[in-house]
A = this chain, B = another copy of it.
Amino acid sequence: MTDTTPGWLTRDDLEEARARMPVLYVEAVPVRVDDSGEVTSIGLLLRIGSDGAVSRSVVSGRVLHHERVRDALLRHLEKDLGPVALPRVPAALQPFTVAEYFPTLGDTPFHDPRQHAVSLAYIVPVAGDCRPRQDALDLVWFSPEEASSPMVLNEMPGGRGTLLRQALAHVGRLS
């Protein structure tokens, strides 16, 4: 199971690196848009975490050594949404926000007990069929109103509900 490709980390190495450096992530909020570009729905992944807890999340994952941010976005979008989702990665690398996940609570609105992760967050329209793979159980599309409801936000741990609301605010669909 050990990956020896240069730039990849073994599980032990990753544990050690995570304890010593902020880990760079990308996050992509999958959306459907109409012809005028307005967001009509938001896709959330339903996951079962390593502790068995059910949670909803956006697409996210690490940026690897010698990987461009936009290639990391593409890779995680394909991993989570399947090969025919037709994601439209933004032309500019300027993220709508930077989310800082701290291993301790209260330093920022974001929390990740495993590590200090810094995430570049993007809105990504997807035009094709989404077929979740890997550890994702399902992808559910919500209207902007549903996505910002307490019921949905409460199922997004670690401050990811805050990130989703920031995304909705950025596209003018926070209700």
Contacts and interface: CB of A to CB of B under 8 A. Distances in A.
Q: In the complex, which of the residues A9, A17, A94, A102 has the most CB atoms of chain B within 10 Å of its own CB atom?
A: A94
B166 A169 contact: yes
- Tell me the dominant secondary structure on chain A's binding face: loop
Given A36-B71, A93-B98, A98-B120, 9 more contacts: A21-B64, A22-B24, A39-B91, A66-B116, A92-B96, A94-B97, A94-B170, A162-B174, A165-B174
Q: How large is the interface on A (under 10, 10 to 19, 20 to 34, 35 or more residues)?
A: 35 or more
B96 A94 contact: yes
B89 A36 contact: yes
Interface of A: 6-9, 13, 17, 19-24, 31, 33, 35-39, 63-71, 73-74, 88-98, 100, 102-104, 107-109, 116, 118, 120, 123, 125, 162, 165-166, 168-172, 174-175
Given A37-B89, A70-B36, A118-B24, A169 B172 contact: no
Contacts of A166: 169-170, 172, 174
Contacts of A35: 74, 89
B93 A97 contact: yes
Contact of A172 (B63, B64, B109, B172): B109
